């Protein structure tokens, strides 16, 4: 098998498992070369971004429904069709041949014939493919834009159809990435020179210092810049939470729900690694990543603690960051899998958990100290509504304006919160507020 075939077969295995267990285990690709591993991520995320539409087309050309197909057959067809419709570099005949070979290998020659027949018929009509035409408008939109119906319903209700389409289109695009320079290992000027020398195109952000928009993180991985702690991959909007918490050298900061730790690392840099950051998370596995990063990034003031934030019993801190677990509806372009994993019930559970975590976070802020609450969600229940409930309960906290920290275009609620939206701001969707404990 050549490189691409291997990347294809692993992608299909990953997608099969995802259909069953809703989890993506990229470690299945560990034995592949770095370039192939990156290709697996591309295939998997791209197919998940277009899944409903691909399934619709396959369904139109197959005598059995997509739900009746074995997961492996379904995913071979999805991958073949994806390559035919959306990958410029792969000729149709090659996409079809690869899919047929994979079907034969995994399911036998009859399955190979079936895949061949379906994909060749689609190829024949490629300039005139059927369009989804359901009477049910939600189903029609959900199929066209490959999002679950519950998300479509709530976004159309909130934004109107036009804007909801723009949001979903953004979610379906390959994302840009940002890298942030780590001043604990290098100087900004040197970092920029290094990128120029390595011929890595970048755009310096006007929103926050030290953030650079890049097309791909591959060169940073290949040149070991992440492992050497020179820079980290962090969306610009994810950088807002540490920015508004404004940790200073010598302070005691709690990063609650900290793993895998990108915000802890940034805060350590802001503090020049002086003072202490207690990074708490419930997941031992994710904390291992944090521990490794803390070493790579020379973030020596981070102390790690595995705990449920709801069981914490620590002294009061100068600043607390609660980067709460959430539905992640702001990051669906980078994490296309989340749209098929999340449910409306999960949104409700997430809101409840956030409320409990906020109570605990508030109890750990000293008088005059600050509490930052942030999410990577765009759902009001997890964001502004959550904060309104909090303020009704706690008269010892007040919201603070954010205009001295962040650009006006990301501020909402009279400047008391930030909320980015992928289709408007061209970055991930994040929310955050800064609260001061006044008594
Ligand atoms: C949004 S992620 C945090 C991302 C992290 N702040 C960063 O910037 O890299 C949410 C985290 O909350 C953690 N978590 C969920 N429930 C928790 C709980 N009850 N106590 C502590 N951590 C929890 C999850 O393990 C997950 O790592």
pLDDT in tens, 146-199: 999 999 999 999 999 999 999 999 999 989 999 999 999 999 999 999 999 999
Q: Which of these three, 233, 250, 272, is where a domain ends?
A: 233
Which residue is closest in CA terms to ligand 1's atom 13? 257
Q: Is residue 346 predicted with pLDDT exceeding 60?
A: yes
Q: Which residue has the higher pLDDT, 4 or 77?
A: 77
Report CA torsion sign: 187, 189, 193, 195: positive
Task: Looking at the structure, tell me whether residues 181 and 240 fall in a common domain.
Answer: no
Task: Give percent above pLDDT 90 in the chain.
Answer: 94
In angstroms, rounded to a whole number, what is the distance separating the alpha carbons of residues 434 and 412? Answer: 13
Q: Using a 6 Å CB cutoff, which residues line ligand 1? A: 257-263, 280-283, 286, 308-310, 323, 325
Task: Looking at the structure, tell me whether residues 260 and 187 fall in a common domain.
Answer: no
pLDDT number for residue 4: 47
- φ/ψ of 307, rounded to 5, equals -165, 155
In angstroms, rounded to a whole number, what is the distance separating the alpha carbons of residues 13 and 311? Answer: 39
Ligand 1: atom nearest CA of 376 is 1
**331 domain-assigned:** yes
Ligand 1: atom nearest CA of 286 is 27
Task: Looking at the structure, tell me whether residues 121 and 212 fall in a common domain.
Answer: no
Task: Looking at the structure, tell me whether residues 313 and 287 fall in a common domain.
Answer: yes
Of 231, 257, 326, 376, catalytic:
376
pLDDT number for residue 5: 57
Ligand 1 pocket test target in 239, 254, 278, 282 with most atoms within 8 Å of CB: 282
Q: Is residue 347 predicted with pLDDT exceeding 90?
A: yes
Task: Looking at the structure, tell me whether residues 164 and 115 fall in a common domain.
Answer: no
Task: Looking at the structure, tell me whether residues 243 and 301 fall in a common domain.
Answer: yes
Number of domains in the chain: 4
Task: Looking at the structure, tell me whether residues 401 and 318 fall in a common domain.
Answer: yes
CA 347–ligand 1 middle distance (angstroms): 16
Task: Looking at the structure, tell me whether residues 194 and 309 fall in a common domain.
Answer: no
**133 domain-assigned:** no
Is ipTM over 0.95?
Answer: yes
pLDDT in tens, 230-242: 999 999 999 999 9
pLDDT in tens, 369-415: 999 999 999 999 999 999 999 999 999 999 999 999 999 999 999 99
**134 domain-assigned:** no
Among this protein's residues, is 326 annotated catalytic? no
| Alpha carbon separation from 116 to 103, 109, 275 (Å, rounded) | 9, 10, 63
pLDDT in tens, 95-130: 999 999 999 999 999 999 999 999 999 999 999 999
pLDDT number for residue 3: 42
* β-bridge partners, 320: 254, 371
Task: Looking at the structure, tell me whether residues 114 and 154 fall in a common domain.
Answer: no
Could you write out the three-class secondary structure of 404-425? CCCCHHHEEHHHCEEECCHHHH
- Collapsed DSSP state (helix, strand, coil) of residue 248: coil
**137 domain-assigned:** no
**325 domain-assigned:** yes
Ligand 1: atom nearest CA of 259 is 27
Confidence of residue 6 (pLDDT cuts 50, 70, 90): confident
The binding site for S-adenosyl-L-methionine comprises 281, 307, 323
Task: Looking at the structure, tell me whether residues 393 and 381 fall in a common domain.
Answer: yes
Q: Given phi > 0 = left and psi -120 to 50 = alpha, else beta, which region is 273?
A: left
**Section 209-220 average pLDDT:** 94
Environment class of 151 (CB within 10 Å of its CB; exposed 0-12, middle 13-18, buried 19+) = buried
Residue span of the structural domain in which 83 resides: 3-128
**318 domain-assigned:** yes
């Amino acid at each position: 098998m050549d490189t691409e075939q291997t990347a294809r077969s692993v992608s299909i295995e990953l997608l099969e498992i995802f259909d069953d267990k809703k989890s993506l285990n990229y470690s299945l690709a560990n034995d592949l070369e770095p370039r192939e591993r990156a290709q697996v991520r591309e295939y998997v995320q791209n197919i998940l971004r277009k899944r409903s539409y691909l399934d619709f087309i396959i369904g139109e050309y197959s005598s059995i429904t997509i739900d009746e197909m074995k997961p492996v057959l379904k995913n071979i067809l999805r991958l073949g069709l994806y390559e035919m419709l959306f990958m410029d570099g792969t000729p149709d005949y090659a996409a079809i041949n690869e899919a047929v070979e994979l079907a034969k290998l995994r399911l036998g020659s009859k399955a190979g014939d079936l895949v061949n027949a379906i994909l060749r018929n689609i190829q024949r009509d490629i300039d005139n493919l059927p369009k989804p035409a359901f009477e049910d408008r939600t189903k029609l939109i959900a199929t066209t834009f490959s999002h679950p119906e519950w998300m479509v319903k709530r976004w159309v209700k909130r934004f109107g159809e036009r804007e909801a389409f723009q949001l979903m289109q953004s979610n379906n695009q390959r994302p840009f990435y940002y890298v942030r320079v780590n001043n604990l290992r290098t100087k900004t000027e040197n970092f920029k020179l290094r990128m120029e020398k390595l011929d890595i195109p970048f755009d310096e952000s006007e929103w926050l210092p030290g953030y650079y928009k890049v097309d791909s993180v591959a060169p940073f991985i290949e040149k070991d810049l992440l492992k050497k702690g020179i820079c980290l991959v962090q969306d610009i909007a994810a950088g807002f939470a540490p920015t508004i918490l404004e940790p200073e050298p010598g302070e005691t900061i709690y990063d609650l729900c900290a793993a895998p730790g990108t915000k802890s690392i940034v805060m350590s840099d802001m503090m020049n690694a002086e003072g202490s950051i207690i990074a708490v998370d419930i997941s031992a596995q994710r904390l291992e990543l944090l521990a490794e990063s803390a070493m790579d990034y020379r973030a020596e003031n981070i102390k790690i603690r595995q705990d449920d934030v709801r069981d914490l019993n620590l002294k009061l801190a100068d600043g607390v960051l609660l980067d709460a677990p959430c539905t992640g509806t702001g990051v669906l372009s980078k994490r296309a899998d989340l749209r098929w994993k999340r449910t409306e019930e999960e949104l409700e559970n997430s809101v409840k958990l956030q409320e409990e975590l906020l109570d605990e976070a508030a109890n750990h802020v000293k008088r005059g100290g600050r509490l930052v609450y942030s999410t990577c969600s765009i759902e009001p229940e997890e964001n502004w509504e959550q904060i309104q409930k909090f303020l009704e309960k706690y008269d010892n906290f007040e919201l603070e304006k954010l205009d001295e920290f962040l650009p006006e275009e990301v501020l909402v609620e009279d400047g008391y919160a930030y909320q980015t939206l992928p289709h408007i701001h061209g970055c991930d969707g994040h929310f955050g507020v800064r609260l001061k404990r006044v008594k």
